[in-house]
Structure 1
Amino acid sequence: MSQGAEVENAAVEVEFEVSDPRYPLVALSAETGCEAELLQLLPRSNGAYTVFQRISGTDPERVLEFTRSYDGFDARLVTSGDESAVVEFRISAEGGFFTICLTDAGAIPTQLASKDGVARIVAEIPATYSASDVISRFEEHYPSMEIIARRQKPTPVPLFQRKELQEAVTRLFTPRQREVLVLAYTNGYYDWPRENTGEELAAELGVTYATFSEHLRKAEQKLLSLIFATE
């Protein structure tokens, strides 16, 4: 199918690559030798974002040290294991990073990874937006980017609703509830068999298992009430 013959009510999925080391995600893997993989993207107030990345291939402290050289780009270590670590990046609206540029244009980043000095970004563009306009806007901010693939992706629910859901969840949760829920999700607590127990995750946070369970239960309750509540 040609790029011009796009199906009505179908999302467009676009895969980009950026190898310019002026950009933090590119420089991160080039300078530290790590591999970074997106786990979760959460909107915050004032147009900022929190991004959870799984980091492997280097000492997490090198990643934290790396972020200190960029304005509007803070990081903290969430968990650390033998093979990988989970790092929380806080990106300000003024930072001009990939995720902010794409979401401001109307796209939804679904994959964000960096390896060997190349950043790979996959984003879904809802049918309510012009894919060409979104791509042009991204290219304007990142002229060195390359489009690797562009494909139709029919979906029964408009993808912009996912962003609205994330924003609603962010407003509902306390910072600690969000931290506990994301920690559980990104560390296999909801997998079967579980990769990490509640006791292990509580130890990572430096809290008792009872405290961890209380925060997690309240976060889950708020999330379910958002989905199932009736007027």
Structure 2
Amino acid sequence: MYQAELHLQQEKECVLTDLAREVDAPLDIEIEELHDHNVTFVLHAGERAGSWYDRLSDADAVHHVQRLDGEALLVTKHSCGAYAAVSKNHGVLRRVNRIGPRQRVYHVLVFQREDLKAIIEEFRSIGLVTLGQLTEFGGATSALTTRQREVIETALEAGYFQWPREVTSEELAADLGISRPTFLEHLRKAEGTLLTQLLDETDGRTRW
């Protein structure tokens, strides 16, 4: 199991690129789900939530946008390439991301080096990519609860992280006898635990 820090200088324009140009700091988004070529995330828009809601609603790449509260938007959009590349090659993306006008940093969890190589290769079709830190870690799953481990192992075995997905979150939830929101919550917590351990790991670091 590996955690990679990928730096991408994106050349392809997207709706988030335009929004990021309007603020002084990178945009904070929380990834909810990657599905085929789409990504669903929460965008913390602050006082711009109203105007950004209108712009996102009018964007061709955006399939759905919803106001969650006064400052946050739930957005489902067509991936500009990076999220699709991670999902397609069996990667798990750290939930919290920061999006700048050009420069983006992704923390990706993969189970095989070949998957990471494929992600990097696809990133090169989007822009200039460099590998920051690569950490190998072997014991992260021991920190998961029994239910979290069951959910993530079931998802892996059923092809949830394959491209295209071989099973939906609704089907997996039904197989496990839980609701889809409960399934996604267990999956997010498992991913968060794995990624947090990998990010905090200081030993056994290796370079690509």
**TM-score normalised by length of structure 2:** 0.58
Partner of 2:123: 138
Quick one: distance in 2 between partners of 1:34 and 1:61? 19
- Could you say if the C-alpha distance between residues 47 and 148 of structure 1 is closer, same or farther in structure 2, counting changes exceeding 3 Å? closer
1:147 aligns with 2:130: yes
- Could you say if the C-alpha distance between residues 40 and 134 of structure 1 is closer, same or farther in structure 2, counting changes exceeding 3 Å? closer
Partner of 1:122: 107
Give me the CA root mean square deviation.
Answer: 3.9
1:99 aligns with 2:72: no
Larger Rg over CA atoms: 1
CA apart distance, 1:128: 6.3
Partner of 1:213: none
Q: Which amino acid aligns with 1:122?
A: H
Quick one: distance in 2 between partners of 1:99 and 1:169? 17
Quick one: distance in 2 between partners of 1:133 and 1:117? 22
Quick one: distance in 1 between partners of 2:154 and 2:25? 29
Quick one: distance in 2 between partners of 1:107 and 1:24? 24
Provide, for residues 9-40 of structure 1, a one-character-per-residue CA deviation record: whole Å limited to 9, x for no partner.
x3131222335461333222114657422323
Partner of 1:196: none
Partner of 2:92: 108
- Residue 12 of structure 1 aligns to a residue in which SS? strand
CA apart distance, 1:103: 0.9
Alignment of 1:178-217 (within 5 A): none
- Residue 67 of structure 1 aligns to a residue in which SS? helix
CA apart distance, 1:150: 3.0
1:65 to 49, 54, 60: 54
Contact 1:26 1:118 in 2 (8 A): no
Partner of 1:86: 72
Q: How many residues align?
A: 162
- Could you say if the C-alpha distance between residues 134 and 223 of structure 1 is closer, same or farther in structure 2, counting changes exceeding 3 Å? closer
CA apart distance, 1:64: 1.6
CA apart distance, 1:154: 0.6
Q: Which amino acid aligns with 1:105?
A: N
Contact 2:3 2:107 in 1 (8 A): no
CA apart distance, 1:151: 1.2
Q: Which has the higher contact order (CA 8 A, sep 6+)?
A: 2
Structure 2 residue runs of 5 or longer lacking an equivalent are 142-148, 161-166, 191-208
Contact 1:28 1:66 in 2 (8 A): no
Quick one: distance in 2 between partners of 1:37 and 1:62? 17
CA apart distance, 1:77: 1.5
Quick one: distance in 1 between partners of 2:11 and 2:137? 32
